[in-house]
Amino acid sequence: MQIQTPDWVKHAVFYQIFPDRFARSQRSRHTFLNNSNLEAWDAPPTLQGYKGGDLWGVLEKLDYIQSLGVNAIYFTPIFQSASNHRYHTHNYYQVDPMLGGNQALRELIDAAHSRNMKIVLDGVFNHSSRGFFFFHDVLENGSNSPWVNWFKIQNWPLAPYDGNLPANYDAWAGIRSLPTFNHDHPDVKEYIMKIAEYWLKFGIDGWRLDVPYEIKTPGFWQEFRQRVKGINPHAYIVGEVWTDAREWLDGTQFDGVLNYLFNEAVLAFAVGDRIVLELVESQSYYPYPALDAAGYAAKIHSLLELYPWEIQLTQLNVLSSHDTARLMSIADGDQASVELSNLLLFTFPGAPSIYYGDEVGLPGGIDPDCRRVFPLESDWNQELLNTHKQLISLRQNHPALRLGSYQVLYAVGTVYVFARILEREELIIAVNVGTESITVNIDCSNLQNQPEQVLFGNGEIVWKGENVCLTIPPRSGLILG
């Protein structure tokens, strides 16, 4: 079969927003939230505290988001929920009133679409919450509840709050507040499919699927794809799978996954032994031990062999997210590490994603610290912001960086050089992760052109026949076009 993925994703730069922490508008204050028990905006985030960010706030910041060159936004969950991160869904048809309700989403989608920006929502379809109406009915009525078979109940009574007693029902990761759906039940399956369809008709451009590997019902994701693409053939379906995802990337299920395999390789190479191990060791990915250029080349080669090219172009490539410590903290505040990582991100096949605040150097440890509020402009790292804007602009102006083939030219010691090639357009990207300036001679006989204009970074370039002699300063990289 011929694999088809949404064309727009190949040209997208995503911005990931955790809505409670990005921007707080005055518009929500005109409702019943005037005297809410909110944490101070600039206080360190806590596991259960709310900051009161909302979708109106995002709407007011669309100029800023667009100024980065971003053309797609992925939101962590926005439906009504009893948690600041909203992975505990109460009502799948209602945007949380604290975020501005369905009206705020309506205005935000319309404003984004008028700017040719896409909106992707987080679909939490593996589990609901204790406050979800159907589960709540089971808590109230026990085995008499009409919804008892919607969940995986082993015994009675249920113990949704008392950790000293057996819960007696399946919950995600054993967390009692997150009862797991029984996806084998036809009504549950239909309920989830209808939610997916409803919001696509409302105008969203795709779904990011939370822990989709937990849903084992045969044919579930295949039907999900058919139903989603039936409403919008160009909708993006991206799964949160941190490991080898071939099982879901056969063309019948997802268009891509969150590419943590790419993240691991980039951080191990660009940050290397500067990585703060305690920020990554307890997580589900392995951006350590440090890699040299040959080790990085080997990892990237195996990653590019893993999935069909059509899927590679619609992977969602991340350097950090709401589930990891932030890049600036992982790199122990080393700006060169952050810039090198971003150079590799924005020149790689697949859609790059920026976790809000990373572009201005926002630090943050493991959750909840990685979910800090977006900083005041006075605290922005302007140099890093300019690097992001420059790289995004280059990606958008050079189709080869989005669609071009990927060819490694050199991978020795601290230096990694590759080309992105699309028809006559050829770009050379060179990175030196070492602490000394280095000169390398690279065989470019496979290239048709001899790109010599430095589009990004700095260094010395001398062409000698079909070879290019590059001198690259320490801890830096460059793009030739």
Given 96, 210, 358, 359, the catalytic residue: 210
- How does DSSP classify residue 144? G
Report the C-alpha gap between 232 and 200 in whole angstroms: 7
Q: What are phi and psi of 469, to 5 degrees?
A: -100, 115
Residues of 250-263 as b/e, b for ≥16 C-beta within 10 angstroms?
ebebbbbbbbbbbb
* Closest among 90, 252, 129, 120 to 199, alpha carbons compared: 120
Which amino acid is it at 417? V
Tokens at residue 63, please? 């100029």
**For residue 368, is the peptide bond before it cis, meaning its omega torsion is within 30 degrees of 0?**
yes
Find all residues with CB under 8 Å of 208, minimum gap 6, and list them: 74, 120, 121, 122, 123, 238, 239, 240, 258, 316
Contact 466, 445 (CB under 8 A): yes
Q: Is 107 a catalytic residue?
A: no
Q: Pairing relation of β-strands 316-318 and 256-257? A: unpaired
* Closest among 25, 20, 30, 139 to 82, alpha carbons compared: 20
Tokens at residue 260, please? 């943590």
Dihedral sign computed on CA atoms, order 158, 160, 162, 166: positive
Given 96, 122, 205, 240, the catalytic residue: 240
Report the C-alpha gap between 256 and 309 in whole angstroms: 11
Q: Is 210 a catalytic residue?
A: yes
Instruction: Point out the residues that are catalytic.
Output: 210, 240
